[in-house]
Amino acid sequence: MKILHLYHDLMNLYGDYANVSAMKRILEKSGERVELDRLSLGDNADFKNCDFIFIGSGTEKNQRVALKDFKKYGKALKDYIDSGKVILMTGNSFEMLGKTITDAHGQSFDGLGLLDFGVTEQNKTRLTADVIFDCDFLTQPVVGFVNKCSEITGADKTLFSVRMGLGNKDGDKREGVRLNNCFGTHVTGPVLIKNPHFLCYLAETILGRKPESDWMTYERAGYEVTLRELSGRLNAE
């Protein structure tokens, strides 16, 4: 199986490279031989041969640089998503899928336009929060941390519902985006390390069968501690 870590050098905040390490490990534990490609600007990725693609979070400046290059993959990315293969985009990387990104100075940049949403940034303060999110394909909530300076409007294909923390915009109880098996969320931390059940879901989607997961004792224990602490804080409010 082949994993593609795209813009590994530009979009690499918050230790999100560990999402790739986690996926590689669970696929190997499930009996697969895994090849990992790390590609960036100027490279030519072949999405057709990929089983899992990951793009992490970057600074706003690096996001613009990645976006300019990412546009060359527009049709290939659409075909990949339409085929039902799995891609995970964390932090501000998934914002590139929308129609426009408007920065804090009012300058607008065209996105890939695969989803009908717009992004507006501000430079007054970072928006940060611990989060608990629910979704219809997992029996347990997702936990993590969000650190962003943007709001998203017009997203109708969202990923999570907000139990605690920040949604796509102020007052919005929805977070992230989902298109087939393309998952985009501002949750960093990294999300697949903090949420082994989410990792298992993505791995099962990739494999077409349940992955080997008995080895994730510490990961599950860490998740339970985080969920308990955040839930206690939420209940105290």
Q: Output the domain CATH number for residue 95.
A: 3.40.50.880
On the question of pLDDT at 237 being above 80, the answer is no
**What local confidence, expressed as pLDDT, does residue 80 receive?**
98
Nearest to 187 by CA among 176, 172, 202, 198: 176
CA dihedral 133, 139, 140, 145 (to 10 degrees): -30
Q: How many domains does the chain fold into?
A: 1
On the question of pLDDT at 193 being above 80, the answer is yes
The two three-digit tokens of residue 65, written as one number: 């640089």
Q: Around Cβ 67, how many Cβ atoms within 10 Å?
A: 18
**How far is it, in rounded angstroms, from Cα 218 to Cα 85?**
29
pLDDT band at 213 (very low <50, low <70, confident <90, very high): very high
On the question of pLDDT at 55 being above 80, the answer is yes
Query: Is the C-alpha dihedral spanning 127, 132, 135, 141 positive or negative?
Result: positive
Domain span at residue 188? 2-236
Q: Is the peptide bond before 190 cis (omega within 30 degrees of 0)?
A: yes
- Give the whole-number percent of the chain exceeding pLDDT 90: 95
**How far is it, in rounded angstroms, from Cα 224 to Cα 231?**
10
pLDDT band at 124 (very low <50, low <70, confident <90, very high): confident
pLDDT tens digits for 58-81? Answer: 999 999 999 999 999 999 999 999
**How far is it, in rounded angstroms, from Cα 109 to Cα 170?**
22
**How far is it, in rounded angstroms, from Cα 210 to Cα 218?**
19
Burial category of 75 from C-beta neighbours within 10 Å (exposed 0-12, middle 13-18, buried 19 and up):
exposed
**How far is it, in rounded angstroms, from Cα 55 to Cα 91?**
9
pLDDT tens digits for 150-170? Answer: 999 999 999 999 999 999 999
